[in-house]
């Protein structure tokens, strides 16, 4: 697909001779590296299925979760991934920590480093915050979501789930329906999906997409549509995104009802999908807004599987960054 080449001067990405240092987004992952992570996650998922799901691969390593925004699934998923690999886990949330006393991000990172963390898993409301952290941390940073920018482990688990259910990635058509303009999940998914040869269409009201040329400049192959119903018969993967109610207050939408009518993932819409098509959602869902409960619970829905697969993907990432040998 028409994707820009990976910028060659990034000192943090993997090269033929160098291990990857940080996982900040998928824009610096080549297709082969993505597939390597997915393959490793297959083994990790097998470990999770054992009666005693624990292996000593990361014994002696410490992972710190530092979350500046609330999160349930991502934080617990990383924690479970680390424990399964026998790593120690530190948890820090901004609420109730020295962050509330005005500690800067850099000072927090240095403190976590002094406490012995090898890997920091970080969620932050500001786009780019993990890139700042990465400049001040000797270990590795995994971006668990930064502002509107990126959420690479979510994108990888999405790819893993698609491949698991549909047997391939190349040439499949994904429709990402919802608030892509404000979505870090969409941004990382787009990089990963296009790199793996998938076709991607964004579908949302124009206020939640923004200028098409802004997207096409980074992703010439990306398609944009305002007509979800027209896309459905040609869709292999239908992914919904959370619609925050604040968007309506900000004047980006007339009413949630109008949104649901034209863009909501309803049971009726699922009937127009090809038989094999699956429905995804990164969570947390606003049921009744961007996705109806009947659709979320339908046999096509792989939303819960996404959560389970998230642990395997995060194990694969932790292993890739801190394992003694390359996965």
Q: Closest separation between CB of residue 156 and other proteins, Å?
A: 18
Q: Are 313 and 157 in contact (CB under 8 A)?
A: yes
Q: Closest separation between CB of residue 103 and other proteins, Å?
A: 12
Q: Measured between alpha carbons, how far is residue 319 from residues 20, 41, 44 in Å? A: 11, 10, 10
Closest CA to 218 of 26, 38, 47: 26
CB closer to other proteins, 12 vs 262: 12
Rounded to whole angstroms, the Cα distance separating 45 from 48 reads 5
Q: Closest separation between CB of residue 68 and other proteins, Å?
A: 10
CB closer to other proteins, 25 vs 158: 25
Q: Closest separation between CB of residue 148 and other proteins, Å?
A: 4
SS3 assignment, position 129: helix
What residues act catalytically?
Answer: 73-74, 101, 123, 151
In the β-sheet with 62-67, what is the strand arrangement from edge to edge?
88-93, 62-67, 119-124, 140-146
Rounded to whole angstroms, the Cα distance separating 129 from 172 reads 33
CB closer to other proteins, 146 vs 236: 146
Cβ atoms < 10 Å from Cβ of 219? 19
Q: Closest separation between CB of residue 219 and other proteins, Å?
A: 9
Binding site for other proteins (CB under 8 A): 4-11, 27-28, 104-106, 124, 126-129, 131-132, 134-135, 146-150, 184, 187, 210-211, 213-215, 217-218
Closest CA to 174 of 125, 117, 239: 239
CB closer to other proteins, 68 vs 160: 68
CB closer to other proteins, 26 vs 196: 26
Q: Closest separation between CB of residue 40 and other proteins, Å?
A: 25
The verdict on whether omega for the bond into residue 259 sits within 30 degrees of 0, i.e. cis, is no
Rounded to whole angstroms, the Cα distance separating 218 from 4 reads 7
Phi/psi at 22 (5° precision): -135, 155
Q: Closest separation between CB of residue 160 and other proteins, Å?
A: 23
| Angle (nearest 5°) at CA 313 between 163 and 273 | 30
- Distance between alpha carbon 208 and the CA centroid of its chain, in Å? 19
CB closer to other proteins, 20 vs 184: 184
Maximum C-alpha span of the chain: 55
CB closer to other proteins, 131 vs 262: 131
Q: Which residue has the tokens 């993932």?
A: 265
Q: Measured between alpha carbons, how far is residue 229 from residues 42, 186, 258, 298 in Å? A: 34, 20, 15, 18
């Amino acid at each position: 697909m028409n994707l820009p080449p990976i910028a060659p001067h990034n000192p943090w990405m993997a090269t033929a001779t160098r291990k990857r240092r940080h996982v900040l987004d998928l824009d610096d992952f080549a297709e082969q590296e993505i597939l390597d992570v997915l393959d490793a996650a297959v083994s990790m998922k097998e470990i999770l299925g054992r009666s005693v799901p624990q292996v000593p691969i990361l014994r002696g390593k410490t992972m710190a979760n530092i979350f500046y925004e609330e999160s349930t699934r991502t934080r617990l998923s990383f924690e479970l991934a680390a424990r399964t690999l026998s790593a120690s886990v530190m948890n820090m949330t901004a609420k109730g920590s020295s962050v509330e006393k005005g500690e800067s991000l850099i000072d927090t990172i240095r403190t976590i480093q002094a406490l012995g963390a090898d890997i920091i898993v970080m969620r932050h409301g500001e786009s780019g915050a993990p890139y700042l952290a990465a400049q001040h941390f000797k270990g590795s940073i995994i971006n668990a979501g930064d502002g509107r920018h990126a959420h690479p482990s979510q994108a990888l688990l999405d790819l893993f789930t698609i491949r698991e259910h549909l047997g391939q990635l190349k040439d499949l058509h994904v429709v990402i329906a919802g608030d892509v303009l404000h979505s870090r999940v969409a941004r990382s998914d787009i990089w990963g999906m296009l790199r793996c040869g998938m076709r991607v269409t964004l579908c949302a009201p124009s206020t939640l997409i923004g200028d098409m040329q802004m997207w096409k400049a980074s992703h010439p192959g990306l398609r944009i549509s305002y007509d979800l119903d027209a896309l459905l018969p040609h869709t292999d993967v239908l992914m919904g995104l959370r619609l925050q109610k604040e968007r309506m207050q900000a004047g980006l939408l007339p009413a949630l009802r109008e949104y649901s009518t034209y863009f909501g993932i309803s049971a009726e819409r699922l009937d127009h999908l090809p038989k094999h098509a699956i429905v995804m959602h990164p969570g947390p869902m606003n049921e009744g807004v961007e996705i109806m409960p009947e659709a979320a619970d339908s046999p096509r829905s792989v939303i819960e599987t996404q959560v389970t697969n998230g642990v395997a993907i995060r194990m694969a990432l932790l292993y890739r960054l801190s394992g003694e040998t390359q996965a």
